[in-house]
Amino acid sequence: MSSKELEVLEDFITQNNLKITRQRRSVLKAFLDSEEHVSAEELYKLVTASEPKVGLATVYRTLALLIQSGLASELDFGDGQKRYEHKYMHSHHDHMICTECGKIIEFNHPLIEKFQEEVAARNGFTITSHKLDMFGMCSDCR
Amino acid sequence: MSSKELEVLEDFITQNNLKITRQRRSVLKAFLDSEEHVSAEELYKLVTASEPKVGLATVYRTLALLIQSGLASELDFGDGQKRYEHKYMHSHHDHMICTECGKIIEFNHPLIEKFQEEVAARNGFTITSHKLDMFGMCSDCR
DNA sequence: GTTGCTGCAAAGTGTTTGCACCCTG
DNA sequence: CAGGGTGCAAACACTTTGCAGCAAC
């Protein structure tokens, strides 16, 4: 493993006087190998599959690091647990969540973004981030 | 108090063999008097201001009833607690959340909705609900 | 050898549930 | 007076934190 992402993480770590450890590499690796939109628990299972002694707390702590270093971002679909998605080299998009099978389709519609800016401007509001989630049924479940 | 909402709640209650109690009326009243987007804790404080003995559990249980009866809907801005908004006679809208002062501006843009449908259709996805939250700074905080 | 990192368990947060008593219909 | 409703406290699910030992630099 010698990905671009590992470099980003190592840069962030060294720039902040932190340390590169086996656990951090493991969590990053599992995160990169994972589906988009993993939960902490899922990631924990993935990590412990190859590194049984890693604790759940370390997964959470490393996820925080990934978020700070810009490699991951936090999602909340309102189901009681946070999810994490790849952010590096992965541009902004929104989500369609199938409430039947859990499948998540990502999409981006430039005009929707444009009209968002427009509404915001009309209200004197400056957008720093947004999220659009659509819930429903995917083609397989209909 | 003899609002339309009370009627809706009483209809729902009687149609389901449930009972109208002083606590339920209190929670509904506090909910109707509250700001949009109350959290359970906030609502609990409002209720106990006039009815000190009401428990937090009752607030949660009554909120569930309000949701089932169509008077309230649940929101999640990803800050770790759920919020509840008035739904009766209050049509669909999205939110701009000021991350500085917490102010919430509601808006609705028909074209955004239209393009959402369009993207969904293009992916064979049937939308049952959606939410669009924009985070940033309101005019007062800029 | 410092200083930060880890695993573990304990503490926290927001929400839900079990239970004995209470009250509505 | 029967059955649901309530307050209280305990249980929950997810996440964070304190601490003593451990490992990276």
Q: Which two tokens stand for residue A35?
A: 């589906």
pLDDT at B11 over 90: yes
Residue B17 pLDDT level (bands cut at 50, 70, 90): confident
**pLDDT single digits (tens) B23-68:** 999 999 999 999 889 999 999 999 999 999 999 999 999 999 999 9
pLDDT at B124 over 90: yes
Low-confidence ranges of chain A (pLDDT < 50): none
Residue A17 pLDDT? 83
Pairing of the two strands B94-98 and B104-107: antiparallel
Q: Compute CA distances B54 → A78, A97, B12, B45, whole Å.
A: 27, 37, 22, 10
* Relative orientation angle of helices A4-15 and A22-33, to the nearest 10 degrees: 140
> Which among A76, A137, A142 is the nearest to B78, CB-wise?
A76
Residue B3 pLDDT? 77
Of all residues in chain B, the percent with pLDDT exceeding 90 is 84
Q: Which two tokens stand for residue B85?
A: 């908004």
Q: Which two tokens stand for residue B17?
A: 């063999």
Domain annotation for chain A: domains and CATH numbers: 3-86 (1.10.10.10), 94-136 (3.30.1490.190)
Nucleotides of D under 7 A from a protein CB: 3-10, 13-18, 23-25
pLDDT at B130 over 90: yes
Q: Best residue in B126, B128, B129 to probe A by mutation, most A CBs within 10 Å? A: B126
Residue B36 pLDDT? 84
Mean pLDDT of B103-109: 95
Query: How far is the C-alpha of B74 from the C-alpha of B113, rounded, in Å?
Result: 20
Taking an 8 Å Cβ-Cβ cutoff, which residues of chain A contact chain B? 74, 76, 78, 96, 98-99, 105, 107, 109, 111-112, 115-116, 118-120, 123-139, 142
Mean pLDDT of B11-26: 94
Smallest CA–CA distance, residue A118 to chain B, in Å, is 10
Identify the residue with better confidence: B89 or B38: B38
Mean pLDDT of B63-77: 95
pLDDT at B122 over 90: yes
Residue B2 pLDDT? 52
Q: Which two tokens stand for residue B57?
A: 């559990």
Please give the helix or strand (H or E) that residue A125 lies within, else none.
none
Residue B130 φ then ψ, to 5°: -155, 165
Which residues of chain A lie closer than 8 angstroms to B121, CB-CB? Answer: none
Mean pLDDT of B75-83: 92
Q: Compute CA distances A123 → A18, A94, A131, B42, whole Å.
A: 43, 23, 18, 27
